Structures are given as structure tokens and as C-alpha cells.
């Protein structure tokens, strides 16, 4: 069974909010209708967003780390928001595990938002229905898009590749490997909701070069050091020097 998810690499995220704006741009322009804003250029701007980037400071000065923390629907494998919905508007798709809201059935009772410990559901104050991340379900299966662009808008926008998208139930997928090899974890595991989205923790950055990678491939005799270095005034590039 497929479970699509986002993997968010906190080691790489720079907190640029490109995923937020890209998400808003894509999802406010789609067939499901706009994501409404109020007072966008005035005193108390407010609006409906499906993705946010927050910033936390970890540690005590001077040993602090600034952690940028993107937060959107985690598409839980056991989503607490789904069984509480009285109309069945909130549902989890069997075929790919995406948690969705049917905007035509939602009555805007907000009970699902109460039942989500992560606070990732937001009421659209004008359409009066609950909105949440759809994993860009209208992008990822669109045959009109080039294969490489069939990814959520946030993933496409991330300049540092901090967001990976794929099937976490396929052990050979990029996202499963990322979780396995980089200590991927879930948020608030204490509630048993089993979020599909995982986060990759901060990691110590190391040089990952092996000694043999430092040697010239076209130097089988390993006699680099034996050749005379060019004089200072001579050209020093490989293809113009004599050796």
C-alpha cells in the first residue's frame, strides 16, 4: 500500500518561506477555489495557509542553533481528525494515504481541527470549510505536467532540497532511505497518530571524501609529485602546461 509523504530535512532548511508562498500560490489558484485572505496589506493581515515555516532557537547562548521548522499536514497513518468528522468530509485515501477534505461535504464545524494535535487544519473564513495540505493532489497525478514536475508545489520551490516527496511504504524509495539513513522521526509520537511526514534532524556536517577521491583519475602512475612545478609566471592549468 502506498503512503505518500513529505520528508523535511531540518539540517538543510534555511527558513526562506519559499515553500509557504509556493504552496499558497498553487493552492489559491486551483480548481478547489481560493485560500482566502483578509487585510493582506493592512494592519492585521490574516489568511488561510496550508504550510507554515516556524523558527526555534535551541540551546543556550552562545551555543545555540536556529532551527527552521516547516509545518503542514503530516498525513497521519492513523489520523485522529478523520473518525471525528460527522459528515465524512474528512477522509484518508486508501490508494495513496493522502488525508483530504471534501469541500462540498464539509459543514465547517471545526471538530477535526480540535482533533488534530498538530494544528495543521485551518478554516477558510470566507468559504467556511476546513482546509489543509492536499500534498498537491492536483499536481502529482497530472499527466499534462512533465514527469519531473509531478511533485507538491513546496517540494518544487525548495531551493535547498530540504523537502523530499515519495512513498514511505516502499523501502527502496528515496524518502524511505532518507528516513532510514538520517534518523528520520515523527512529531508527537506520544499520541499514536503515526504521521507519514517525517523530519530529518540536524546532523554534524562532515567531509564525505575518501582518500582515493582526492587522487587524479588520469594519473595511474601516481607521479604527480615528481614532475617540476611550473614557474610562477608560467600558465598553471593542466591543459596548457607541458607536464
Partner 1 sequence: MHPAFSVIFLTTLIGAGQGLFLALYAAEVGAFLDALPPQAAHGFFAIGSTLAVVFLGAGLFASFFHLGRPERAWRTVAMWRTSWLSREVIVLPAFMGLVAAYGAAHYFGLGDTLLVGAIAMLACVALFVCTGMIYACIKFLQEWATPLTVINFILLGCASGFTFAAAFAAATGSALTGEFAGWAVTFTVAAFLTRAASLIRNQRLKPKSTLQTAVGIKHPRIVQKAQGFMGGSFNTREFFHGASPALVRAVKWGFLVLVFPLPAVLLAAGAYFQSTPVLIVAFVVQYLGLMLERWFFFAQANHPQNLYYQAVS
Contact residues for partner 1, defined by CB under 8 A: 17, 20, 39, 44-49, 52-60, 66-67, 69, 71, 80, 82-89, 105-111, 113-119, 121-123, 125, 128-129, 185-191, 199, 201-202
Which whole-number Å values give the CA distances from 152 to 15, 133, 138, in the listed order? 18, 10, 9
Kindly tell me which of 26 and 199 has the beta carbon lying closer to partner 1.
199
Kindly tell me which of 111 and 169 has the beta carbon lying closer to partner 1.
111
Cβ contact 137:98 at 8 Å: yes
Residue 152: partners with Cβ closer than 8 Å, 6 or more residues away: 6, 23, 135, 136, 139, 140, 163, 165
* Least distance (Å) between residue 232 CB and partner 1: 51
* Least distance (Å) between residue 217 CB and partner 1: 42
Kindly tell me which of 2 and 91 has the beta carbon lying closer to partner 1.
91
Helix (H) or strand (E) holding 211, with range, is none
Which whole-number Å values give the CA distances from 44 to 21, 32, 129, 203, in the listed order? 19, 26, 22, 38
Cell of residue 210, nine digits: 575518501
* Least distance (Å) between residue 208 CB and partner 1: 24
Kindly tell me which of 60 and 95 has the beta carbon lying closer to partner 1.
60
Kindly tell me which of 39 and 160 has the beta carbon lying closer to partner 1.
39
* Least distance (Å) between residue 193 CB and partner 1: 9
Kindly tell me which of 56 and 141 has the beta carbon lying closer to partner 1.
56
* Least distance (Å) between residue 44 CB and partner 1: 5
* Least distance (Å) between residue 171 CB and partner 1: 22
Cβ contact 165:4 at 8 Å: yes
Kindly tell me which of 107 and 236 has the beta carbon lying closer to partner 1.
107
* Least distance (Å) between residue 119 CB and partner 1: 3
Beta bridge partners, 216, equal none
Which whole-number Å values give the CA distances from 155 to 162, 172, 205, in the listed order? 8, 20, 23
CA atoms of 106 and 91, how far apart (whole Å): 11
Length in residues, the chain: 243
SS3 7: strand
Amino acid at each position: 500500500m502506498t503512503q505518500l509523504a513529505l520528508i523535511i530535512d531540518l539540517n538543510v532548511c534555511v527558513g526562506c518561506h519559499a515553500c509557504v508562498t509556493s504552496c499558497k500560490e498553487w493552492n489559491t489558484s486551483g480548481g478547489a477555489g481560493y485560500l482566502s485572505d483578509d487585510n493582506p496589506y493592512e494592519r492585521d493581515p490574516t489568511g488561510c495557509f496550508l504550510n507554515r515555516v516556524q523558527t526555534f532557537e535551541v540551546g543556550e547562548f552562545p551555543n545555540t542553533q536556529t532551527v527552521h521548522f516547516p509545518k503542514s499536514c503530516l498525513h497521519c497513518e492513523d489520523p485522529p481528525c478523520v473518525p471525528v468528522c460527522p459528515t465524512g468530509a474528512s477522509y484518508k485515501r486508501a490508494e495513496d494515504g493522502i488525508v483530504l477534505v471534501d469541500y462540498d461535504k464539509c459543514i465547517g464545524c471545526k471538530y477535526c481541527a480540535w482533533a488534530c494535535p498538530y494544528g495543521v487544519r485551518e478554516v477558510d473564513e470566507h468559504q467556511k470549510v476546513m482546509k489543509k495540505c492536499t500534498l498537491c493532489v492536483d499536481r502529482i497525478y497530472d499527466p499534462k505536467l512533465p514527469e519531473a514536475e509531478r511533485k507538491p508545489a513546496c517540494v518544487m520551490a525548495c531551493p535547498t532540497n530540504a523537502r523530499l516527496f515519495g512513498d514511505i511504504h516502499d523501502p527502496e524509495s528515496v524518502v524511505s532511505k532518507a528516513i532510514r539513513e538520517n534518523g528520520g522521526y515523527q512529531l508527537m509520537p506520544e499520541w499514536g497518530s503515526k504521521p507519514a511526514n517525517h523530519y530529518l534532524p540536524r546532523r554534524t556536517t562532515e567531509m564525505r571524501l575518501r582518500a582515493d577521491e582526492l587522487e587524479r583519475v588520469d594519473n595511474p602512475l601516481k607521479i604527480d609529485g615528481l614532475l617540476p612545478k611550473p614557474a610562477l609566471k608560467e600558465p598553471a592549468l593542466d591543459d596548457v602546461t607541458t607536464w
